[in-house]
Amino acid sequence: MRHVVLAALLLAGCNPVQRIAVNTNAIREEAQALSVHGVEVGDPVVVKGASRIDELAAGIHKELPNVQNKPSDLMDLLKWGAIAAVLVAVVVILAQTGIGSGIKAVIGWIPRKTKADATLAASVMSEQKPETIREWVAAKRASDPLWDKAFQEAQKEMK
Q: Are residues 132 and 77 in the same domain?
A: yes
Q: Are 47 and 35 in contact (CB under 8 A)?
A: yes
Q: Are residues 91 and 44 in the same domain?
A: no
- The residue count for the chain: 159
Query: Which string of DSSP letters, residue by residue, matches 56-75?
Result: HHHHHHHHGGG------HHH
Instruction: Show which of 66, 92, 111 is a domain's final residue.
Output: 66
Query: pLDDT value at position 29?
Result: 93
pLDDT in tens, the chain (159 residues): 666 555 544 544 567 888 888 999 999 999 999 899 999 999 999 899 999 999 999 999 898 888 888 777 888 899 999 999 999 999 899 888 888 877 877 888 888 888 887 888 888 888 787 778 888 888 888 888 888 898 899 888 887
Q: Are residues 62 and 82 in the same domain?
A: no
Q: Are residues 154 and 82 in the same domain?
A: yes
Q: Are residues 91 and 110 in the same domain?
A: yes
Q: How far apart are CA 159 and CA 156, in angstroms?
A: 5
Q: How far apart are CA 4 and CA 57, in angstroms?
A: 15
Q: Are residues 151 and 88 in the same domain?
A: yes
Instruction: Show which of 40, 66, 92 is a domain's final residue.
Output: 66
Query: Which string of DSSP letters, residue by residue, matches 48-114?
Result: HHHHHHHHHHHHHHHHGGG------HHHHHHHHHHHHHHHHHHHHHHHHHSHHHHHHHHHT---HHH
Q: Are residues 93 and 50 in the same domain?
A: no
Q: Are residues 88 and 50 in the same domain?
A: no
Neighbours of 50 (CB within 10 A): 22
Query: pLDDT value at position 27?
Result: 92
Q: Which residues of 111-133 are buried (b: 16+ CB within 10 A; e: fewer)?
A: eeeeeebeebeeebeeeeeebee
Q: Are residues 53 and 82 in the same domain?
A: no
Structural domain total, the chain: 2
Query: pLDDT value at position 5?
Result: 53
Query: pLDDT value at position 11?
Result: 47
DSSP state of 129: S
| Range of the structural domain that residue 77 is part of | 73-158
Query: pLDDT value at position 4?
Result: 54
Q: Are residues 112 and 150 in the same domain?
A: yes
Instruction: Show which of 49, 66, 83 is a domain's final residue.
Output: 66
Q: Are residues 91 and 133 in the same domain?
A: yes
CA atoms within 13 A on the CB side of 86: 6
Q: Are residues 14 and 85 in the same domain?
A: no
